[in-house]
Amino acid sequence: MPTPRRSVGGKRPLPPDPPAGADTDTDAEPPVVIRTPLVRPPRAPRPAPSQPAPEEPAAPAGLAPLPEPPDPGDVEVAVRFDRPAPALGYLGQLTDGEAREPRVLRGESHWWVAAELPLALARELAELGGGRCHVPDGDRLLLDPGHGPGPDPRLADLVPAGSLTEVPVVELVRAAGLRARDGARPRQVHVLARRERAAALVRRGLDLGLGTSFRPVRAAPLFHAADGDGRQAGTLTEVRLEAVQRDTGLRAELPPSLLDALDRDRNVLACRAHGRLMVQARRWSPLPDHQLAAVLLPTVEAGVLVLADEPHGCWLLTPMTEFRNGWEIAQLDPANRLEPGDPALTGPADDSAVPETERIQVVRTRQTGDPVDAVLLRTGDLRLLRALFEGRPLAELAFVVHGGDRHLLIAPGGVRDRIPVGQYLVALSPAPSNAYVAHGWRTRPRLPAAAWHALYEGIRDRALVLEENRTLVFDLTTRRPVWELWAGDLPEFDEGVPDGVPDELARMDASDPVAAAVPARGAPRRPSVPSGGGGGVAAASENVFQRGRRMLRRLRGREVDWREAAMDAEAAGDFEVAADLLERHGELERAAKLFELAAERKDPGP
């Protein structure tokens, strides 16, 4: 609302007529508006008094605002605070909305904040922090009664304005200090440490998969301590740890345990950064960071300000270099040093210089929770499989590949069930997996999935089980369904026809040239139906149909079982087909796993 600014310190005129609609508002409850997503910040200011609210439900008792004097426009108001922190908070609220220019004054034992603003607003804000409003009157300050049009010079307490001296806002910031309070977990912290600590910190950051960078800085004490507490300029290392966005759409955060550890460690200082201002993590000034930066940064020409609690103190940092990536120091070890090229290393004529490779070893690992992709069985274990599998769903799916003294139990989508026999194997890559290693072991060096895929391309029909001293090779084409281990011969067949009838049928078949040409096995043959005139052609065509049907039936009989098909599709890397087969046959867990693999393979990474 445009109101004429009053001259400061002059006689305050009588309030003009209240503008229509500005002061008729006597409610605290604005109209109910439901919106999603939510838009009000947690610390929203109270409803602005000038906000019109036409249709209004009756406000509940207890929230009705104090009746407000007619708005006389902005006046100079000086607010007295006993303690610096609320004074700074008040200052922050003043400068948050509009570009007012408050001044900070120092009395004998009080802090004063003076600014031009509506008296009612000043009362509201000051009351929150326990401040007392004063209005200048000549060279005096009159205590505001807190209601009505303003202080009456005849009744109010007086404070001589001359006893106050103006001080920079920085003084108030210093006096208010920092308070410990939890906030949202940050995405990034800057840690100041001496260099012997910094190296370990960088390694830790890299271990945790954080974006880690560092730079040496020159640190000089800020606010040049007059009491000479012995702090002198020196160099420190600034390590920047940054959470890396992994999942799309989710917030990246630093691990809370790391922040806790940094907070407890008194030899390092973790800060959050706001431009050229850094404030100790989990410490907050009453002033928000951006206002703090606006107040403090003009006081220094260059460098980064660090505000921190005891025992760290406040520092002015001058970066000595740009940020360098953390791995530059973490991977520095003698083996990687750069030496002048040795002529003896290069081959005499051919320039196919292949770097020395390391033999792949299988070593112990502490990793747990691997899935059971396959099981390695001893010969004696095979006898147990019947007791474990008979009547279980896995018997439908699993295959055994026989080897010398070890046998491999596999299933499309992996075995998954933790059966109480054999040695569990985990596939070394999610790609078509034909290289396995036992639980509790891994390869050194670790190889990416692409490497195993290349291996797979070379030995498509073999499965490898990597052990410490040997590698077992299984021929996957010799796999047999697991139920064959306990399924023996069927009982003797009895054809169930009287003696002599088979001979008779065979004689009748022999008289039928077409049927004789295509003998069908298995199904008992039906004698051809004799028919009348022209029956020869009809019978022949009928027999062609029958033959077709029989061939079809035989082909169906040879059709690949869906389990075989799933196994083949998985081995060929066609996870989607394998998963589809498994899903249709109710093997949901394996199907889901394969769908996931297929999804990850179909579009690897953004």
Partner 1 sequence: MPDPQLMRRAARCYARLGWHAEAARCHRAAGDHQYAARLWERAGLPAEAARDHLAARAFDRAAWLYVHEADDPAEARAVLAEAADAVLAAVPMAAAEFTASDLTLRLVLARCDVAEGRPVREARAAIAAVTDALARADAVPGHVARDLEDRAVATAEAMHRPDLVALVFAAAVRGQRPGAAARWDDWSRRVLHVPLVLPPATAVVAEEPAEPAGRPLAG
Contacting positions for partner 1 (CB under 8 A): 29-42, 44-48, 51-52, 57, 60, 62-63, 182-185, 247-251, 576, 579, 583, 588-589, 591-593, 595-596, 598-600, 602-603, 605-606
4: Cα separation from own chain's centroid: 53
State which residue, 104 or 579, has the beta carbon closest to partner 1.
579
* Contacts for 557 with CB less than 8 Å, ≥ 6 apart: none
For residue 523, the minimal CB distance to partner 1 (Å) is: 39
Ordered DSSP codes for 330-372: HT--GGG---PPPGGGS-SS----PPP-PPPEEEE--------
Identify each DSSP E strand in 96-173 by its residue range. Answer: 103-106, 111-118, 132-137, 140-143, 158-160, 165-167
Residue closest to 289 by CA, chosen among 311, 307, 268: 307
State which residue, 30 or 445, has the beta carbon closest to partner 1.
30
State which residue, 59 or 459, has the beta carbon closest to partner 1.
59
For residue 589, the minimal CB distance to partner 1 (Å) is: 6
State which residue, 10 or 52, has the beta carbon closest to partner 1.
52
H-type helices in 415-534, by residue range? 449-458, 501-510, 513-517
State which residue, 250 or 353, has the beta carbon closest to partner 1.
250
A 10 A CB-CB count for 431 gives: 21
For residue 186, the minimal CB distance to partner 1 (Å) is: 11
State which residue, 34 or 537, has the beta carbon closest to partner 1.
34
State which residue, 24 or 51, has the beta carbon closest to partner 1.
51
Residue with tokens 């100079």: 76
Residue closest to 190 by CA, chosen among 214, 221, 219: 214
For residue 48, the minimal CB distance to partner 1 (Å) is: 5
Task: Report whether 567 contacts 481 (CB < 8 A).
Answer: no
For residue 598, the minimal CB distance to partner 1 (Å) is: 5
Residue closest to 185 by CA, chosen among 124, 262, 249, 108: 262
Rounded distance, CA 261 to CA 197, Å? 13
Residue with tokens 């009928």: 542
Does residue 524 have a cis bond before it (omega within 30 degrees)? no
Task: Report whether 515 contacts 528 (CB < 8 A).
Answer: yes
For residue 369, the minimal CB distance to partner 1 (Å) is: 14
Residue with tokens 């010079």: 153
For residue 452, the minimal CB distance to partner 1 (Å) is: 19
State which residue, 510 or 572, has the beta carbon closest to partner 1.
572
State which residue, 252 or 539, has the beta carbon closest to partner 1.
252
Rounded distance, CA 324 to CA 157, Å? 61
Backbone φ and ψ for 199, nearest 5 degrees, come out as -60, -45
For residue 393, the minimal CB distance to partner 1 (Å) is: 13
Backbone φ and ψ for 578, nearest 5 degrees, come out as -60, -45
Alpha-carbon Rg for the chain in angstroms: 43
State which residue, 462 or 585, has the beta carbon closest to partner 1.
585
Scored b (16 or more CB within 10 A) or e, 463-497 reads bbbbbeeeebebebeebebbeebeeeeeeeeeeee
For residue 391, the minimal CB distance to partner 1 (Å) is: 20
Strand duo 132-137 + 74-81: pairing: antiparallel
For residue 321, the minimal CB distance to partner 1 (Å) is: 33
H-type helices in 48-207, by residue range? 84-97, 119-128, 169-176, 195-207
For residue 590, the minimal CB distance to partner 1 (Å) is: 9
Helix, strand, coil shares of the chain, percent, nearest 5, are 30, 20, 50
Rounded distance, CA 25 to CA 46, Å? 13
For residue 145, the minimal CB distance to partner 1 (Å) is: 26
State which residue, 67 or 605, has the beta carbon closest to partner 1.
605
Residue closest to 382 by CA, chosen among 354, 401, 355, 357: 401
For residue 601, the minimal CB distance to partner 1 (Å) is: 8
* Contacts for 245 with CB less than 8 Å, ≥ 6 apart: 252
State which residue, 51 or 267, has the beta carbon closest to partner 1.
51
State which residue, 542 or 574, has the beta carbon closest to partner 1.
574
For residue 40, the minimal CB distance to partner 1 (Å) is: 5
State which residue, 381 or 587, has the beta carbon closest to partner 1.
587
